[in-house]
Amino acid sequence: MFYNSPLLQLCSPFNSSGPLPVIFERVLMITLLIDFDDAFNQENNDVNQNVSNSIERQSRIHIPGRQSSDILGFRDGSTIVDFEITANMTIQDSAVEALLVGIFNDLKDTFPIRIVSPIDLEPVPPEVFFNQTVTLTCGPSPNLDFTITMSVWTLDGDVIIEDERHIFEQVNGTETLTITNYFSTDEGRYQCRLFDGESIYVQDSNQVFSLLETPTIQVVPRQNTILCEVGQQVLVQCFVQDPYQVEFLQITDSDTGTAIQNQVTITQEDCDNEELIITCQETEFSQFAQNILLLLVRSGTFTCVNDPEFGNGFLNQVGRASCEINEVGEITAICRENGQWEDRENECILQRIAELLFQSQFLDEITLPEFLDDLSNATIELSDPVTENPNNIEAIVTTLSNVGNFVTETDVEISQVSMEDVLLTTGVLTTDQAIEAWNTLNLEAVTELVVPRNVTFRNESFSSLLLFSLEDITRRLTNATFNITTPLVLLNKTTFINNFNGDFNSTVEIDIEGTNGATNLTVITFESLDNVLPPRDENNATGRVINGRVVLVQSDTIINNITFTFDIIDDTLGNPQCVFWNFSLFDGLGGWDDEGCELVERVDQTVTCRCDHLTSFSMLMSPFFPNSLILSFITFIGVAISMASLVICLLIEGYMFTRRRVREDEIKLLRNISIMNIALSLLIANVWFIIGSSITEDGRNNRPACTAATFFIHFFYLALFFWMLNFAMLLLYNMVNLFGGALSKRAQLIIGFSLGYGTPLLIATITIAVTAPNNTYIQETAICWLNWNQSKALLAFVIPALIIVFVNILILIVVIIKVIQSRRMQISVKDNAKSTLASIARTLAILTPFFGITWSLGVGTLVDPSNFGIHVAFAFFNSLQGFFVLVFGTLLDRSVRTEIAEPFSRLYQSSSGSGTRVTSTGASSSIAQFFKNIGRGGGNETSTSASSQAN
């Protein structure tokens, strides 16, 4: 048992006795947790006397045949007391332990003491395998007067923090540490320190706990179909790596060893059951086993016969075979009409790589460096089988993706040493030996999009995922200037102010001008990443060649202009093109794109390219938006116009709110409040869109900021639509209740604000709560907007928006019907109410189809993300929403124009004097008429002059 307690340290270095023992002696020590003073060695010292009396008293009680007990001296090390016990018989370890417990109990109330357990920490079970649950129990003897007030567990000196894998629990005066998933990063020497006040009880493993290699069992056949004949014998085989041994459970006197085989005799009972399961199990560790399934049929004609892997099979039957030793998974195939097992799927992965993939889901800041070291070592040591099998590459890329997600979400820094491990791992994946495996991965990813098959293809691009993971990890590099050089990858991290020029590996030169202040720049130059990224472009043309080094550039500031000069690999190739890897192409599989990049010049053996990328509004609906300067200009010019229009709209509606006629007219007031909140929601949404765009290039570096921007964009765009719904409900309510409504103005305001802001807040909050556990709230690309590929969170915006558009159209239809009915019934409505309701109806009749068209185009970008025309149309309509709200929601309202005209009328009258009253009235009427006629093409409607309506 082990305990942590700051009290006394007891140990017995040796047991000395002569050949013909007469006197036996043990030299022991205790540790007092007090500052050492040489005065303690004086016999009349209080400390000396207290300790001496306790040793004397307890030795008489616990040491049979005791002869003497003498203090040898006090020494430094807190305060260590060495003492000697002699007896006329052998002094047993149990007696020594009882003696030390007695001394502890005597002195604990006088001095804090450190006691070291004589028993080592031991894992349960004693043999530990990967992902096994392991328990360590630490605690003093029940006779020790020790109450645990605190505990500290360490692994190789590092404190273990309680988390989902490490669970601490106190039971009956002991403490247990349970490790629910034991990994290689858990190997080492454990120590437990238990505290009772200032006293300490220490228990140590005194050895390194190590994982045993997991047995991987291979059986032949894994599955076979045979005609059932009683007495028929079937050969079964089983293999395992050394030093393990296996045996067949159902076979009497089964062979044992690393490679065994036996004959199985088919019985009538087997035929009646229609199947026979034979289990091959490791002889010592029964948890490791593999089954052989024999399917027994009474009749039939096999289409596939005696295949060495899959055996016999009927048409379209699925066959199964084992992987190689040291691999996990299985191989499947389908029996086809030609008698061959086809559509073969190999799901085998190296055991060590599979374990690292699983472990990558449970990383923490302490284990990350060791994990990345294990990953690079495993990838290098197993480089041949890794690069030969696409499954191994897929597993390692997924592992790096998990690392990238972890460091992004937790803001853990990546050290230079850890980054070197990442680059070494990446280098193995990009070697020439891996080309065939990458071709398989990339081909299957595209084939799945074009021609779905019955077998399971990769539905994502692992070439894109590798590059994206490296971007995530690179963003978390520690702030320092350094270089990392590996055989196939070069990394340079530096800091510059305003301008930068660098030459990397003598093959790539980078120039950056005009940044704002200090910039941390990381450049990774790949020797052979062209083996990974397929040369397909946005037109799916694959006849191109990557004719230069692939470079990854990361910056903590936005860079709008960067120039690359590449050395040409093959100068016989013509028509060079400057491209970047666009993750959005091919429904997120990725491809090379030249949008925003241009060829500057080609001189001798070099090509110079300049790139400049902005963000488009089309990101709001399509997660696969094209990087286009046209879209960017439409978006941001439109946004500028829209925001200016919204500010004007808010100023006008704010002025309207000050007018007594508006405040006293319930319908006008509610119309005014609705328009103000529509404009305000859209304005704030646009502001957050700009903020999100500003961190788009750095969105994965500052994921919390990107998440916040996404939340507020989502919330305020929803608020816009729900206030549009409020606007429509206001019209419907007042048209249905032509003779006056039952709801008070206050009640309508409460309902309006609850619907306008409460419902969007609820939807936005639920969306982020539901997607947070899987980290699928924002897009996996560097875009601050709702996720589509993984969680379909984007539907939390699309569905409410389109439903509201549809409901508003229905409300307009109901209103039109109601108006027709009211005219037939000759129902009279006050002129002011009639005018205001007509204005609301006109606004809805224009804005609802406008919003409907806008966001229907947004849905079009989801359905056909490669259609550039839809993206342009959506960006155009979306960017001008604010302008339309100003014109059709505010300026076309007659009462608004009249109220705006009145100050001008009064000003004109006061400047003209009373002698020209008729003229001033005429001028006032003309000014009012001018505002009324905006959007009406003049018109001949007669209205009261502004001067006659003065309050």
C-alpha–C-alpha distance, residues 613 and 595, integer Å: 8
Residue 233: CB atoms within 10 A of its CB come to 10
C-alpha–C-alpha distance, residues 1 and 144, integer Å: 12
CB 238, CB 281: distance < 8 Å: no
Stretch among 348-352, 416-420, 442-446, 901-905 having the lowest mean pLDDT: 901-905
Note the pLDDT of residue 443: 80
Residue 643 or residue 907, greater confidence: 643
Stretch among 452-456, 539-543, 793-797 having the lowest mean pLDDT: 452-456
Give the model's confidence band at 941: pLDDT under 50 very low, under 70 low, under 90 confident, else very high: very low
The mean pLDDT value for 571-575 works out to 70
C-alpha–C-alpha distance, residues 423 and 907, integer Å: 75
Residue 692 or residue 181, greater confidence: 181
CB 103, CB 69: distance < 8 Å: no
The mean pLDDT value for 645-658 works out to 84
Residue 594: CB atoms within 10 A of its CB come to 17
CB 331, CB 339: distance < 8 Å: no
pLDDT digits (tens, 9 = 90+) for 681-691: 989 988 888 88
Cα-based distances in Å from 566 to 218, 569, 571: 50, 9, 12
Phi, psi dihedral angles at 220 (to 5 degrees):
-135, 120
| 292 pLDDT more than 80 | yes
| Best-predicted range by mean pLDDT (100-109, 529-538, 848-857) | 100-109
Burial class (CB within 10 angstroms; exposed 0-12, middle 13-18, buried 19+) of 529: buried
C-alpha–C-alpha distance, residues 736 and 821, integer Å: 11
The mean pLDDT value for 324-352 works out to 94
The mean pLDDT value for 194-200 works out to 92
Q: Is the peptide bond before 221 cis (omega within 30 degrees of 0)?
A: yes
Strands (E), 187-232: 190-196, 199-204, 217-220, 223-227
Tokens 């990557």 found at? 546
The mean pLDDT value for 772-780 works out to 77
Quote the mean pLDDT of the chain: 80
Which DSSP symbol is given to 162? P
pLDDT digits (tens, 9 = 90+) for 900-922: 766 666 665 555 544 434 333 33
| Best-predicted range by mean pLDDT (237-241, 597-601, 667-671) | 237-241
| 11 pLDDT more than 70 | no
| 616 pLDDT more than 60 | no
| 700 pLDDT more than 70 | no
Note the pLDDT of residue 822: 60
| 448 pLDDT more than 50 | no
SS3 425: helix
The mean pLDDT value for 754-773 works out to 91
The mean pLDDT value for 794-807 works out to 86
Residue 95 or residue 792, greater confidence: 95
pLDDT digits (tens, 9 = 90+) for 487-515: 999 999 998 888 888 887 767 888 887 77
The mean pLDDT value for 32-61 works out to 94
What is the side-by-side strand order in the sheet with 318-322? 318-322, 330-335, 341-346
CB 311, CB 224: distance < 8 Å: yes
Note the pLDDT of residue 267: 92
Residue 235 or residue 815, greater confidence: 235
Stretch among 579-588, 746-755, 814-823 having the lowest mean pLDDT: 814-823
Residue 654 or residue 421, greater confidence: 421
The mean pLDDT value for 116-126 works out to 89
* Measured CA angle at 230 (ends 226, 234), to 5 deg: 45
C-alpha–C-alpha distance, residues 359 and 751, integer Å: 51
C-alpha–C-alpha distance, residues 930 and 942, integer Å: 12
The mean pLDDT value for 14-28 works out to 65
Tokens 């093409």 found at? 937
Note the pLDDT of residue 950: 31
C-alpha–C-alpha distance, residues 627 and 624, integer Å: 9
Give the model's confidence band at 622: pLDDT under 50 very low, under 70 low, under 90 confident, else very high: very low
Give the model's confidence band at 665: pLDDT under 50 very low, under 70 low, under 90 confident, else very high: low
Which DSSP symbol is given to 619? G
The first and second tokens of residue 915, run together, are: 């002698």
| Best-predicted range by mean pLDDT (202-216, 667-681, 698-712) | 202-216
CA 406 distance to own-chain centroid = 7
Note the pLDDT of residue 152: 95
Note the pLDDT of residue 737: 62
pLDDT digits (tens, 9 = 90+) for 198-255: 999 999 998 899 999 999 999 999 999 999 999 999 999 999 999 999 999 988 889 9
| Best-predicted range by mean pLDDT (188-202, 553-567, 777-791) | 188-202
pLDDT digits (tens, 9 = 90+) for 522-566: 989 898 888 898 877 665 555 567 777 888 888 877 777 888 888
CB 297, CB 307: distance < 8 Å: no
| 862 pLDDT more than 60 | no
pLDDT digits (tens, 9 = 90+) for 129-176: 999 999 999 988 888 889 999 999 999 999 999 998 999 999 888 999
